[in-house]
Amino acid sequence: MNIAFLISVYKDPAQLKRLINALQGDGSHFFIHVDKKVDISSFLQICPEFHADNQSLTYLEKRFPVYWGGFSQFKLIARKFASNKSEKLIEKLQKQW
């Protein structure tokens, strides 16, 4: 089964790497949205092993500021559903301390 993980992040790139390593498996694909309010460069450097094949990890190009409890969280989910990927299950993750 293909599973898409839609992960919204704004801090702690090392935590993102640990999460991806824990969830990675056959048919898994990670779509990473980095909040527009933060610099994306540290997130782009955390998982070079995933960038090599560019099959299991995609950073979303259209970034926007995400506010907790706001419409922007729904907007992120809606954009993923509008894409033409064939995942059977989409899991949205957003939790950072």
Q: What does the pLDDT look like over 59-78, one tens digit per residue?
A: 888 888 887 766 666 676 66
The one-letter amino acid at 82: A
- Which range scores top for mean pLDDT: 1-5, 9-13, 93-97? 9-13
Task: Output the pTM of the full model.
Answer: 0.75
Q: Measured between alpha carbons, how far is residue 37 from residues 4, 11, 40, 58, 78 in Å?
A: 24, 10, 9, 19, 20
Residue 97 falls inside a structural domain: no
Residue 61's domain spans which residues?
Answer: 3-91
Residue 75 falls inside a structural domain: yes
Confidence of residue 97 (pLDDT cuts 50, 70, 90): very low
Q: How many domains does the chain have?
A: 1
56 and 85 Cβ atoms separated by less than 8 Å: no
User: Does pLDDT of 54 surpass 60?
Assistant: no
The CATH number of whichever domain residue 31 belongs to comes to 3.40.50
Beta pairing class for 28-34 and 57-59: parallel
Residue 96 falls inside a structural domain: no
Q: For the sheet containing 57-59, what is the strand order?
A: 57-59, 28-34, 3-9, 89-93
Question: Residue 58 and residue 69: Cα distance in Å, rounded?
Answer: 25
Residue 20 falls inside a structural domain: yes
Per-position DSSP letters for 64-76, written without gaps between them: ----TTSHHHHHH
Provide the token pair at 7: 């992960």
Q: What does the pLDDT look like over 9-20, one tens digit per residue?
A: 999 999 998 988
